[in-house]
């Protein structure tokens, strides 16, 4: 298996602060990587570097055989990396349906002149988007489809997370980055989320996923490839058992004394 995503020696400095320090990993097609680590460890910054929100101070990000280091975010999406945000960033005054359709932006083509002078083509494109969006809304747990004309800002927390995932999937990604998808979900909803991700993977075996998670129930569900980051550096990588047993990981989560107790 050739690597779909290859991150080499990525460092991200903000002034004196080193948010990500020489982190490297690679991810194969169809693989799931869980990234764990305490708050402020640099996990989300790593996502921001991969998706082109930040240009790394050093290092290289390759995706699908091409160098995407520092490419603008909108181009990265087009190449097939979609993401969700830790604090869900929905288009809150637009309907649930519109949110998903906007997610298809890179897969649609209508320009200003098309919209003005070929309204039929523009309408057909929109109708196809609506159909796809409705299917995506029906696919996940919860009843997003029934709420499709509600403004996204009025959704309950769990539905907001689900909608973010649906919107990310709308861009037909090869790699899906989920930034703490289970935040604000109760146990039942978290289990449904895990089931959603598993179903998604069985439907698209080629889809790779990187998951930032604090909830170990979710990490446990995808135990093959786990990476732990602390203070911007990768401190452990391997399967869930190995990483969990790693003394540095225990120290990072529980503090020095507890780890040795």
Partner 1 sequence: MERPMPSGAPSVATASLFVVASQLAGAVFLYLVLKAEGGWQVIGLLALLGAGFFLLEKKPRIADLAMASMARVPLLAVAMAAVVVLAFPFAVGSNTYMLHLLIVAQLYAVLALALNFQLGSANIPNFATGASYGIGAYVSALLAINFGVSFWLTLPVAALAATLFGFLIGIPSMRTRDTYLALVTIAFGVVVQQLLNNFDFTGGPNGLVGIPAPSLFGHSFADPLVIFGHKLPSQANFYYLAAALVAVAIVTARRLHGSRIGLAWNALRADEIAARAQGINVAWYKVLAFAVDAFLAAFAGTIYAFYVSYISPDNFTFLVSVTIMTMVIVGGMDNIFGVIVGAFLLTILPEKLRAFSDYRLLFFGIVIIGFLMIRPQGLFPQRMRDYGSHS
Of the candidates 189, 165, 186, the one whose C-alpha atom is nearest the C-alpha of residue 177 is 165
Enumerate residues 102-141 that contact partner 1 by CB under 8 A: 102-106, 108, 110-112, 114-116, 119, 122-123, 125-127, 129-131, 134
User: For partner 1, which is the closer residue by CB, 8 or 107?
Assistant: 107
Instruction: State yes or no: residue 61 binds partner 1 (CB under 8 A).
Output: no
Pairing type for strands 208-212 and 175-179 reads: parallel
- The C-alpha atoms of residue 35 and residue 260 are separated, in whole angstroms, by 24
Cβ neighbours, 10 Å, residue 55: 13
Judged by CB under 8 A, which of 44, 45, 171, 190 binds partner 1? Answer: 171
Place of tokens 């170990």: 216
Q: Residue 39: is it exposed, middle or buried by C-beta count within 10 angstroms (0-12/13-18/19+)?
A: exposed
- The C-alpha atoms of residue 193 and residue 25 are separated, in whole angstroms, by 26
User: For partner 1, which is the closer residue by CB, 43 or 225?
Assistant: 43
Let me know: does 232 contact 24? Beta carbons within 8 Å.
no
Instruction: State yes or no: residue 154 binds partner 1 (CB under 8 A).
Output: yes
Place of tokens 């689900």: 162
Let me know: does 248 contact 235? Beta carbons within 8 Å.
yes
Shortest Cβ 93–partner 1 spacing (Å)? 6
Shortest Cβ 140–partner 1 spacing (Å)? 16
Q: Torsions phi, psi of 95, nearest 5?
A: -70, 160
Place of tokens 């179903």: 199
Instruction: State yes or no: residue 98 binds partner 1 (CB under 8 A).
Output: yes
Judged by CB under 8 A, which of 6, 30, 91, 223 binds partner 1? Answer: 91
Shortest Cβ 109–partner 1 spacing (Å)? 8
Shortest Cβ 112–partner 1 spacing (Å)? 6
- The C-alpha atoms of residue 8 and residue 23 are separated, in whole angstroms, by 7
User: For partner 1, which is the closer residue by CB, 129 or 227?
Assistant: 129
Judged by CB under 8 A, which of 17, 40, 74, 254 binds partner 1? Answer: 74
User: For partner 1, which is the closer residue by CB, 108 or 242?
Assistant: 108
Q: Residue numbers of the site for partner 1 (CB under 8 A)?
A: 51, 53, 72-75, 77-78, 82-83, 85, 89-95, 97-98, 101-106, 108, 110-112, 114-116, 119, 122-123, 125-127, 129-131, 134, 149-151, 154, 167, 171
């Amino acid at each position: 298996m050739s690597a779909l995503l290859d991150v080499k020696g990525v460092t991200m400095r903000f002034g004196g602060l080193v948010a990500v320090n020489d982190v490297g990993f690679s991810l194969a097609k169809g693989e799931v990587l869980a990234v764990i680590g305490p708050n402020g460890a640099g996990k989300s910054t790593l996502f921001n570097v991969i998706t082109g929100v930040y240009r790394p101070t050093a290092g290289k990000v390759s995706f699908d055989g091409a160098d995407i280091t520092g490419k603008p975010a909108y181009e990265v999406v087009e190449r097939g990396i979609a993401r969700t945000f830790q604090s869900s960033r929905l288009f809150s005054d637009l309907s649930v349906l519109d949110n998903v359709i906007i997610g298809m932006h890179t897969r649609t083509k209508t320009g200003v002149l098309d919209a003005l002078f070929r309204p039929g083509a523009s309408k057909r494109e929109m109708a196809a988007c609506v159909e796809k969006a409705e299917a995506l809304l029906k696919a996940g747990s919860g009843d997003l489809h029934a709420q499709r004309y509600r403004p996204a800002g009025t959704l309950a927390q769990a539905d907001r997370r689900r909608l973010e995932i649906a919107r990310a999937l709308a861009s037909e990604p090869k790699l899906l980055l989920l930034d703490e998808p289970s935040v604000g979900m109760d146990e039942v909803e978290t289990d449904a989320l895990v089931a959603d991700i598993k179903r998604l993977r069985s439907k698209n075996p080629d889809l790779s996923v990187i998951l930032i998670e604090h909830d170990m129930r979710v990490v446990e569900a995808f135990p093959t490839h786990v990476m732990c980051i602390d203070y911007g550096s990768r401190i452990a990588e391997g399967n869930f058992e190995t990483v969990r047993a790693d003394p540095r990981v225990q120290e990072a989560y529980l503090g020095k004394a507890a780890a040795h107790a």
